[in-house]
Amino acid sequence: MSDFPWLLAMIAVPAIGAAVVAALPRERALLAKQVALGVSLVVLLLAVLTTLAFDAGGPRFQLTTSVPWIPDFGSDFALGVDGIALVMVLLIGVLVPLVVAASWHEADGGPRPVRVFFAWLLLLEAMMVGVFVATDLLLFYVFFEAMLVPMYFLIGSFGGPRRQYAAVKFFVYSLVGGLVMLASVIGVYVVSAGVLGEGTFAFDTLTRLDIDPDVQRLLFLGFFIAFAIKAPLVPLHTWLPDSGAEAPVGGAVLLVGVLDKVGTFGFIRYCLPLFPDASRFYAPFVLVLAVVGILYAALLAMGQSDMKRLVSYTSISHFGFIALGIFAFTTEAGTGAVLYMVNHGLATGLLFLVVGMLIARGGSRRIADYGGVAAKAPLLAGAFLVAGLASLALPGTGSFVSEFLVLIGSFPERPVFTVLATLGIILAALYVLLMYQRTMHGPARGVLLQEDPAEPLPGAGGGGATATATLPAPQRSLRVADLGRREIAVVAPLVALILVLGVYPQPLIDLIEPAVVATLDDMGAASGGTDR
């Protein structure tokens, strides 16, 4: 069973699925959706089986597959997972089917064929899996850049009114980061050629390389800038609120839930072990960015009037916590940071989905257009509250465990930064509860009272939600109906996962911890080498 190329299958299945979906005739929209859902469920199954085949106590990289790819550069098509990559792959496996189900009517009636949306979604899944399981630096870079393409089209073709602006901004930001990283990738290759006589991109070999500290500092910056744009750390964050707000809800979930995690994943997988001295050298600087990000983005979130932008800003704040955990260099904080990536994916994913459902009903992204929704849609309000509470890291939700680990693990090493970061939990309560109160509580307001429903934003309410001039009274109330069966099927698994991980997170911690310990060991070993 362990001989089966699980990881290759997880890239190939959605990629082939994307091709199949794209090849379907235009009028078979329903079939396209069903195929997409089926394929994403197969990937979920593969991810679960992969987890079962993975031995937490075994060697660091498992289920490896490697075929020569570009022998002239010493680059292999090498795949493998450690605990960190594995939990991210699991997260992808869980999120994509839910996103497919949540986006069921997203592209209906729009100018572009439905199948295109789902084809891009599946291709995105393939690329995201690839970026996490690649163990070859060049291959990682290729997936890193290739991932942009489907996301660019998802935002640019299926997004909100300012989708073009957002898509271009997203693409340019990411591309700039990617190019700087490419320079560093080549730099690492050249250095490895100098040390070993023959250049290599193999991650395992590169971590054992002794790189001169001054060179490290330069190369580190290339990687760091790329990852800091992707994860977004303040001040490289301004693309995220635009992309998050304009992207279709499903795209936003994957963008913030998974795609941005490549940045933090890159910190822990590449920056720390490849450039241990530089990581230590730059750590105070990164921590300042992280803590400033936590507080600054949380304050900004409070000032937003657009729900999707608000959620995007909360994510920037959370990425600050993850960066804090990674650059504290302790097992507890590192494990917490990786766990945070998973929990944040679930929590913010749920928050985006629920906000999307609300927007689909009201046709507006503005908080001020809502009020008293809880009375009309209690299930929606309940899901919103769970997502919000997970976002503010209430005990009992998975986010609490990860935030707690990050903070308690960072405190012994970096007390001042940790104390400042801890203040962020007050702000988190503020932005979540303010949004919840304004939309869900209070008397009925905004869209609940409108005689003539405003024209839904193109794309936001699903192009199909056409608003006729005046609806008779009973139909008007239908506009804010409670969750339907499909929506419950989307929300329930996420709520369940958030609660289960809040009470019993230890299985995930057991998966993650060895990889984090190995990363920190790599740092220690490599720096010892240069001291000699």
Partner 1 sequence: MSETLPADGLLGWSWLLIALPLAGAAVLLLGGRRTDRWGHLLGAATVATAFVLAVLCTVQLAGQDGAPADVELFTFIATGELDVTAGLLFDPLSAVFALLITGVGSLIHVYSIGYMAHDPGRRRFFAYLNLFVAAMLLLVLGNSFVALYVGWEGVGLASYLLIAFWYTRPGAATAAKKAFIMNRVGDVGLALAIFIMFAQLGTTSYAGVFGTVGTLAGGTITAIGLLLLLGACGKSGQFPLQAWLPDAMEGPTPVSALIHAATMVTAGVYLIARSAPIYDLTPTARAVVLAVGALTLLIGAIAGCAYDDIKKVLAYSTVSQIGYMFLAVGLGPAGYVAGLAHLLAHGFFKAGLFLGAGSVMHAMRDSVDMRRFGALWNKLPITFATFGLGYLALIGFPFLSGYFTKDAIIEAALDRDDVWGWVLGGVAVLGAGLTAFYMTRLMLMTFFGRARWEEGVHPHEAPPVMTAPMVVLAVGSVASGALLVSVFPLSGWLEPVFGEPAEAEHVVAPAVIGLVVTLVMLLGVLAAWLFVGRREVPVAAPVRVSPVTRAARNALYADAVNESLFMRPGQWLTRALVWVDNRGVDGAVNGLAAGLGGSSSRLGRAQTGFVRTYALGMLGGAVVVAGALLAVTSG
Report the interface residues with partner 1, using CB under 8 A. 169, 172, 234-235, 237-239, 296, 299-300, 302-304, 330-332, 335-336, 372, 374-375, 382, 389, 394-396, 400-401, 404-405, 407-409, 411-412, 415, 418-419, 422-423, 425-426, 429-430, 433-434, 437, 440-444, 504-506, 509, 512-513
Residue 45: CB atoms within 10 Å: 12
Q: What angle do CA 528, 267, 210 make, to 5 degrees?
A: 25
The distance of closest approach from Cβ of residue 225 to partner 1 in the complex, given in angstroms and rounded to an integer, is 14
The residue (of 128 and 405) whose beta carbon lies closer to partner 1 is 405
**The two three-digit tokens of residue 505, written as one number:** 């997170």
The residue (of 38 and 378) whose beta carbon lies closer to partner 1 is 378
The residue (of 309 and 344) whose beta carbon lies closer to partner 1 is 309
The residue (of 38 and 303) whose beta carbon lies closer to partner 1 is 303
The residue (of 5 and 396) whose beta carbon lies closer to partner 1 is 396
The residue (of 13 and 323) whose beta carbon lies closer to partner 1 is 323
The residue (of 29 and 512) whose beta carbon lies closer to partner 1 is 512
The distance of closest approach from Cβ of residue 318 to partner 1 in the complex, given in angstroms and rounded to an integer, is 16
Q: According to DSSP H, which parts of 368-484 are helical?
A: 373-376, 378-391, 398-410, 415-440, 473-478
The distance of closest approach from Cβ of residue 27 to partner 1 in the complex, given in angstroms and rounded to an integer, is 39
The residue (of 260 and 403) whose beta carbon lies closer to partner 1 is 403
d(CA 274, CA 204): 10
The distance of closest approach from Cβ of residue 449 to partner 1 in the complex, given in angstroms and rounded to an integer, is 13
Q: According to DSSP H, which parts of 249-275 are helical?
A: 249-254, 261-266, 272-274
Euclidean distance between the first and the last CA atom of the chain, given in angstroms as a whole number: 44
- Helix H, strand E, coil C: the string for 283-338 is HHHHHHHHHHHHHHHHHHHHCCCEHHHHHHHHHHHHHHHHHHHHCCCCHHHHHHHH
Closest Cα to residue 500, out of 335, 336, 338, 343? 343
The distance of closest approach from Cβ of residue 65 to partner 1 in the complex, given in angstroms and rounded to an integer, is 29
**The two three-digit tokens of residue 266, written as one number:** 């890159």
The distance of closest approach from Cβ of residue 506 to partner 1 in the complex, given in angstroms and rounded to an integer, is 5
**The two three-digit tokens of residue 187, written as one number:** 């730099």
Closest Cα to residue 448, out of 465, 468, 473, 467? 473
Helix/strand/coil for 76: strand
The residue (of 206 and 511) whose beta carbon lies closer to partner 1 is 511
Closest Cα to residue 456, out of 354, 356, 381? 356
The residue (of 28 and 445) whose beta carbon lies closer to partner 1 is 445
The distance of closest approach from Cβ of residue 524 to partner 1 in the complex, given in angstroms and rounded to an integer, is 14
The distance of closest approach from Cβ of residue 84 to partner 1 in the complex, given in angstroms and rounded to an integer, is 13
d(CA 42, CA 39): 5
The distance of closest approach from Cβ of residue 382 to partner 1 in the complex, given in angstroms and rounded to an integer, is 8
Q: 392, 425 in Cβ contact below 8 A?
A: yes
Q: DSSP readout, 77-121?
A: EEEEE-HHHHHHHHHHHHHHHHHHHHTTTTTTTSSS-HHHHHHHH
d(CA 5, CA 109): 39
d(CA 346, CA 338): 13
If residue 68 lies in a helix (H) or strand (E), which one and from where to where? strand 62-70
Residue 28, classified by CB atoms within 10 Å of its CB into exposed (0-12), middle (13-18) or buried (19+), is middle
Q: 134, 140 in Cβ contact below 8 A?
A: yes
The distance of closest approach from Cβ of residue 171 to partner 1 in the complex, given in angstroms and rounded to an integer, is 12
The distance of closest approach from Cβ of residue 513 to partner 1 in the complex, given in angstroms and rounded to an integer, is 5
Residue 285, classified by CB atoms within 10 Å of its CB into exposed (0-12), middle (13-18) or buried (19+), is exposed
**Amino acid letter, residue 176:** V
The residue (of 98 and 432) whose beta carbon lies closer to partner 1 is 432
